[in-house]
Each structure stands twice: as structure tokens, then as C-alpha cells.
Amino acid sequence: MNNFLFYQGINLFFLFIFAVKIFINIMKIAIVGATGLVGREMLKVLEEFQVPFDEIYFMASEKSIGQKIIFKNKEYTIKSLPEVLTLKPNIAIFSAGSAVSLEYAPKFKEIGCYVVDNSSAWRMHEDVPLVVPEINFETIHKNSYIIANPNCSTIQLVMVLYPIYHRYGLKRMVVSTYQAVTGTGKNAVEQLMGERSNNPNAPKVYPYPIDLNCIPQCDVFLDNDYTKEEMKIVNETRKILDNPHLRITATAVRVPVIGGHSESVNLELGKSFSVSDIKEILYQTPGVIVMDNPSEKEYPMPILAHGKNEVFVGRIRRDESIENGLNLWIVADNLRKGAATNAIQIAIRLQEEFFSVK
């Protein structure tokens, strides 16, 4: 009789747990593109930030479906996007290209899932927030089910630009970027390493050799002879700062660096400033690290930013050729804050704001 009551008690306990799970909010996260360069960084950032979840799903290309992936010492099976749709995640983070996002983001939206998209597919849609959490998370509303992650070069730029712009205004900006091959993807890394090892079978992603070279072309050329990458910087910065007429021009260059984008930025501010005040503003900016000590040869470099979530700024100095001119050198890991970290930060804020997950 006692054994019967004991097992009945166990059954009731598990029925209670099942009932609770039905009525409480289960946090389900989906990672789309989990095996790519950005996807792998997302897994690292999820673990580093200890992002809470009850269930997590991983998706990749069709050839990867059914394969295993290890996350936090646990084995998961890579699923298809249609399968994960039936599981109804709360938040899905996409890093699988524009075509996938254009097809599937609306489907996830239909089931009430927030999509944080790392492609360029939705960035310039008028009703889609383009978000860097430290700057403009408030543009996300309860029904903003598709949220765009900005371009990697744009993110690190506006992280440093925003507090200066907010304080002094901005008349004009000139940006030159020096972008790592990881910004193009895995095959670009293999091209660079293959050229260094004289491997004739290495992929050919770029129209010219990248080792010991600089290629003044990131993405395809447009009708105005700027590349898509250059115009992303222009248009996305204007949208994030909510200033559609801001005067910006950009030149994007691919350089033989594995990871970490660098930017030379020239600003014409709206009013007078002191360099010491600029530095103090940046010292106080969350997510920004000032590395500026020329006498000791201290300045940001990709090798120092690798694997870091912060944006680094240095070479802060007055442009003496123009009134209220300022020069900056900005560096960040393009796979981290430029992609994975920013997306995960958005997801964390979504959990806090709309799911009461702390």
C-alpha cells in the first residue's frame, strides 16, 4: 500500500510539472546558421553571457541537417527550418543570408517569434528597427517581430560616433574601412591561408590575390560606383541616428587580416570641442574602450580586438585642416560586436523587456 501511494505521489508530481510548463512561459531560442563563422561565435557569446533558455534549437544548411553540434557540453541535432517552426521558438537569431531571411523571417513572425536578423535583407525596411542596443533599443516595440542587426562596419562606427554626435552634432563624416577576410566568409579565409601556403586548390573568392595585397572593393559595385558595403555604411548610419540627410561618404577596402575591421574616421562636428572632452565622453561610453597613448605606441589593432566584444578607439586627434574637425581610429572584432555579440545583446534585451527574463 505504501509503495502504491509513493508511486502515485511521483506520478502526481510529474503531472504537476507538466501542467506548470504548459502555463508558464518557456524560453525557446533558435539559432539559424549555427555552423557558419558568425553562428559559431554566437554559440560562444551565448555561453559567455550565460543567456537563459529552457530549450535551444540549431539550424544550418540542408547538408548539415541531422548532424550533431556541441553546445555547453551537450549534443544537439541540427534541425531544418520547417521543423523548428513547428516547435515555436520565442526568439530566433538568423545568420544564414538574405534569401533565407526573406523567406523564413515572416513565417517565424506569424507564430509570434521575434527574429533578430544578421543579413542585409530587412535593414532598410521602414517598419523594421535597425538596432544597436546601447544606442536605439527603444525603437523596438512589442510587435516588432523582425529586428535587423546592422552591418559589421556600421555597428562599430556608430558605437563611437553616437555619443559624440549626441553632444556636438555632426556636419559631415568621411569613413575609410580596412576589413578582414572573415567579413566575406569561410571561403575567403581559406583563400588567404591557401595563398600563404601556396595551395593551388584553395577557393578563389576575390578577383585578385588577397595575401600581401589590399583590394578596394567590398561587395559589388552599384550604379554610383560605390560598393554595396560603402552604401550600407552611409544608409544604415543615417537610419540608426535618425538623420536621413547626414552627409557621409565611405570607402571600403579588403585587407589580409583574419579577423577585425578597422576604420579611419574623419568628422566635422557641429560645434567646438576639446580633445580631452571627446576622450572623456568615450571613456564613459559602455561597450567602448579608449586605447589612445601615442607616446607609448598604444592604439587599437585587429590583433588586440580579436575575440573581444567591445569596440576600441584611438588616434583621437584634432583635424587641423578644418574647423571642428576630428580624427578617430576604430577597431572591433567583426564577428563579435559586428555580428554575433550585437545580435545576442538584442536577444537578451528582448527577454528582459517582453518575456520578463532576467
Domain boundaries, the chain: 2-122, 153-333
Task: Confirm whether 2-122 and 153-333 share one CATH topology.
Answer: no
Whether 67 contacts 61, CB under 8 Å? no
CATH superfamily to which 153-333 belongs: Dihydrodipicolinate Reductase; domain 2 (3.30.360.10)
Q: Give the Cα-Cα-Cα angle 162, 168, 171 (nearest 5 degrees).
A: 85
Residue whose C-alpha cell reads 530587412 in the numeric block: 122
Q: Which residues are catalytic?
A: 152, 261
- Angstrom distance (rounded) from CA 165 to CA 206: 36
CATH superfamily to which 2-122 belongs: NAD(P)-binding Rossmann-like Domain (3.40.50.720)
Q: Identify the CA nearest to 27 among candidates 341, 342, 350.
A: 350
Whether 279 contacts 174, CB under 8 Å? no
Whether 57 contacts 87, CB under 8 Å? yes
At 73, the amino acid letter reads N
Q: Identify the CA nearest to 340 among candidates 53, 45, 130.
A: 45
Q: What is the pLDDT along the chain (358 residues), one digit of tens a residue?
A: 555 555 455 555 544 444 444 334 699 999 999 999 999 999 999 999 999 999 999 999 889 999 999 999 999 999 999 999 999 999 999 999 999 999 999 999 999 999 999 999 999 999 999 999 999 999 999 999 999 999 999 999 999 999 999 999 999 999 999 999 999 999 999 999 999 999 999 999 999 999 999 999 999 999 999 999 999 999 999 999 999 999 999 999 999 999 999 999 999 999 999 999 999 999 999 999 999 999 999 999 999 999 999 999 999 999 999 999 999 999 999 999 999 999 999 999 999 999 988 7
CA dihedral 31, 35, 36, 37 (to 10 degrees): 100
Q: Identify the CA nearest to 229 among candidates 252, 249, 210.
A: 252
* CA dist list (Å): 129 to 141, 239, 309: 9, 9, 22
Whether 87 contacts 113, CB under 8 Å? no
Beta bridge partners of 262: 178, 331
